[in-house]
Amino acid sequence: MIQVQNLTKTYSESKALDNVNFEVQDGEVLGFLGPNGAGKSTTMKIITGFIAPTKGTVKVDDLDVVDKSFEIRQKIGYLPESNPLYSDMKVHEYLSFVASARQIPKDQRQKSIKRMVDVCGLSDVIGKNIDALSKGYRQRTGLAQAMIHDPDILVMDEPTSGLDPNQIVEIRDLIKKIGEKKTIILSTHILPEVTATCSRVVIINQGKIVAQGTADELTAGASGKQVVYCKVKGDRGIIRQTLSEYHPVSSIKEYAGEGGDMHAFALEISEGDGRELVYKAAVSNNWTLLELYHKTENLEDVFRRLTTSEE
Ligand code: ADP
Ligand code: MG
């Protein structure tokens, strides 16, 4: 189990992480989701022991990553965002090099490499120079590097970024296969990534965790909000004021209407069916209701609501 507790990281002036808390259970595939600059890479570098936190702790199986950095590195495989590879080496040479750096005993290295070639689908390129590989194969080579010592935990920073749609599907399938046996944390700013591969999601924005749970919990569950859209003819100020006074209406936004005395509103509803509420309000106030529909948030809506600061 990975426990991230009160994690704060300050780079010179700016706070990249601000009191971050979450846990990852054994066997979970956790999607670490956030816009650019949210703090994903920083968190991953701390979990893998590459940089130290300013405050707070990360424990892997009860071992502190700062105090027990060496033990932790044996348990964790890490594919950094930049996927650093030695481009003038052949795939086989590179994996041999990593196996020796990982101190895999000499008589077991070939077996470890063979296992990675099979798991990551590298047999066609094993004798090729790394700089001649497609981005998809480079990513597979990076994954092989990360897993050659057979760690229980795999940390991958934006593993599908920069790949074409076919390569994305291939790497996702590979991650799914690996995830059947290992604990995985993968970061992404791409939403379908999460629905395709992850069993749970942590959403981070500006260094703070803003939501966590399964995709279903985040959309339909307690934090999932219903939004009712309506177009009403009448006095804008009165309509807005009246609707905002209803208790289940937790926020009200206006969007482009059709001009004149026709006004469009989006109401965030905390409970019950907001359509009924708007309909009844229109009847009792004698407004003309021109449009009325509701939408339950999908993961993209949740992500946008939590990570953008528009009114
Ligand atoms: P993400 O991976 O989610 O895009 P990062 O963890 O890379 O976000 O960055 C979080 C914040 O910390 C950003 O504002 C970024 O500019 C800043 N940051 C990251 N690395 C450094 C660094 N080495 N020095 C100074 N600021 C940094
Ligand atoms: Mg990053």
Cβ of 157 closer than 6 Å to ligand 1, yes or no, is: no
Q: Which two tokens stand for residue 83?
A: 């996927």
pLDDT > 70 fraction of the chain, expressed in percent and rounded: 97
Cβ of 205 closer than 6 Å to ligand 1, yes or no, is: no
Tell me the per-residue pLDDT of 103-129, one tens digit each, with 9 for 90 and over.
Answer: 999 999 999 999 999 999 999 999 999
Distance (angstroms) between ligand 2 centre and the Cα of 289 equals: 47
Of 176, 167, 216, nearest to 196 by C-alpha is 176
Query: What end-to-end distance do the CA atoms of the chain give, in Å?
Result: 39
Cβ of 11 closer than 6 Å to ligand 1, yes or no, is: yes
The protein residue whose alpha carbon is closest to atom 20 in ligand 1 is: 42
What's the chain's average pLDDT? 91
Cβ of 16 closer than 6 Å to ligand 1, yes or no, is: yes
pLDDT value of position 196: 83
**Ligand 1 atom with least separation from CA of 81:** 2
Q: Among all ligands shown, which has an atom nearest to the Cα of 158?
A: 2
pLDDT value of position 223: 52
Task: Measure the CA–CA gap between 177 and 52, rounded to whole angstroms.
Answer: 31
Report, as an integer, the average pLDDT of 16-43. 96
Whether residue 72 is predicted with pLDDT greater than 90 in this model: the reply is: yes
Query: Up-side HSE of residue 237: CA atoms within 13 Å toward CB?
Result: 0
**Ligand 1 atom with least separation from CA of 207:** 10
Whether residue 219 contacts residue 298, with contact meaning beta carbons closer than 8 Å, is answered with yes
Higher pLDDT, 310 or 311: 310
Cβ of 34 closer than 6 Å to ligand 1, yes or no, is: yes
Report, as an integer, the average pLDDT of 79-88. 92
pLDDT value of position 180: 92
Q: Which of 135-149, 247-261, 265-279 has the highest mean pLDDT?
A: 135-149
Distance (angstroms) between ligand 1 centre and the Cα of 40 equals: 8
The full 3-state SS of the chain, as one line of letters, equals CEEEEEEEEEECCEEEEEEEEEEECCCCEEEEECCCCCCHHHHHHHHCCCCCCCEEEEEECCEECCCCHHHHHHHEEEECCCCCCCCCCEHHHHHHHHHHHCCCCHHHHHHHHHHHHHHHCCCCCCCCEHHHCCHHHHHHHHHHHHHCCCCCEEEEECCCCCCCHHHHHHHHHHHHHHHCCCEEEEEECCHHHHHHHCCEEEEEECCEEEEEECHHHHHCCCCCCEEEEEEEECCHHHHHHHHHCCCCEEEEEEEEEEECCEEEEEEEECCCCHHHHHHHHHHHHCCEEEEEEEEECCHHHHHHHHHCCCC
Q: What are phi and psi of 155, to 5 degrees?
A: -115, 120
Longest Cα–Cα distance in the chain:
85
Please report, for the chain, the start and end positions of each structural domain, with discontinuous segments joined by +: 2-213, 226-295
Distance (angstroms) between ligand 1 centre and the Cα of 93 equals: 33
Q: Confirm whether 2-213 and 226-295 share one CATH topology.
A: no
- State the pLDDT confidence band at 263, using cuts at 50, 70 and 90: very high
pLDDT value of position 311: 39
Whether residue 177 is predicted with pLDDT greater than 70 in this model: the reply is: yes
The protein residue whose alpha carbon is closest to atom 23 in ligand 1 is: 11
Under 8 Å CB-to-CB from 240, ≥6 apart: which residues? 252, 254, 263, 265
- State the pLDDT confidence band at 288, using cuts at 50, 70 and 90: very high
Tell me the per-residue pLDDT of 243-254, one tens digit each, with 9 for 90 and over.
Answer: 999 999 988 988
The protein residue whose alpha carbon is closest to atom 22 in ligand 1 is: 11
pLDDT > 90 fraction of the chain, expressed in percent and rounded: 75
226-295, CATH topology level: Alpha-Beta Plaits (3.30.70)
CATH number 3.30.1330.20 is the correct assignment for the domain at 2-213 = no
Question: What amino acid occupies position 156?
Answer: M
Whether residue 310 is predicted with pLDDT greater than 60 in this model: the reply is: no
Report, as an integer, the average pLDDT of 184-208. 91
Task: Measure the CA–CA gap between 234 and 96, rounded to whole angstroms.
Answer: 74
